[in-house]
Amino acid sequence: MKIAVACDHGGLPLKELVKDALIKNGCEIADLGTRTGESVDYPDFAREALSMLVHGKCDRIVLLCGTGIGMSICANRIPGVRGTLCHDSYTAAMARRHNDSNCLILGGRVLGPAIAQDIVEVWLATGFEGGRHQARLDKIDGLCTELKYQSRG
Ligand code: RB5
């Protein structure tokens, strides 16, 4: 599985650990930065990873910022991206089983290393259940289309 990884300064320390966990679990990774502790804007780093995902240049992506909230807002604006902010192995499993997560989001300032590693392993290993959960995801796509149309008047 090819996975693009991007973070801001708040996610940087955890990104290295996440990369190690991905590689250990057989993934090919593309590290899209940031690479220094200098303060940066998380949308600038989400951009390339989201672009790779929607253009099929990778299978899934991992985004990290301080809380994971800013990256979540970015990711879930983009049609086709199912960004899931995970806090533990339970939320990671459910993000895959019920939400078909293709974008794992982590908060570098709120997660310890062992929990983050667990999350990555479970998120990689867990499958999507489909069925009623696919129908719900289809409804989200319908909602986006409907509200986008309405917002144009
Ligand atoms: C950066 O200070 C911080 O705001 C960012 O990493 C993230 O937590 C935003 O949601």
Angstrom CA distances, 81 to 14, 53, 104, 143, stand at: 22, 8, 10, 14
For residue 153, the model assigns a pLDDT of 59
For residue 151, the model assigns a pLDDT of 73
Q: Which residues of 44-66 are buried (b: 16+ CB within 10 A; e: fewer)?
A: ebbebbbebbeeeebebbbbbbb
Sorted by sequence, the CB contacts under 8 Å of residue 82 that are 6+ apart come out as 76, 99, 100, 101, 102, 103, 137
Task: Answer whether residue 152 shows pLDDT above 80.
Answer: no
Range of the domain at 84: 2-150
For residue 61, the model assigns a pLDDT of 99
For residue 33, the model assigns a pLDDT of 95
E strands, 17-136, are 28-31, 60-65, 83-85, 103-107
DSSP letter at 66 equals: S
Mutate to test the pocket of ligand 1, among 14, 40, 42, 69 (most ligand atoms within 8 A of CB): 42
Band of residue 144 on the pLDDT scale cut at 50, 70, 90: confident
Catalytic residues: 65, 98
**pLDDT tens readout for residues 59-114:** 999 999 999 999 999 999 999 999 999 999 999 999 999 999 999 999 999 999 99
List the structure tokens of 89.
Answer: 């192995």
Region of residue 126 (phi > 0: left; psi between -120 and 50: alpha; otherwise: beta)? beta
Give the pLDDT mean for 31-56: 98
User: Average per-residue pLDDT in the chain?
Assistant: 96
Q: Which amino acid is at 103?
A: C
Domain holding 90: CATH number? Answer: 3.40.1400.10
Nearest CA to ligand 1 atom 6: 66
Residue with tokens 């970015």: 74
Band of residue 149 on the pLDDT scale cut at 50, 70, 90: confident
- Residue ranges lining ligand 1, Cβ < 6 Å: 8, 10, 42, 65-67, 69-70
More confident residue, 141 or 59: 59
Q: Please count the structural domains in the chain.
A: 1
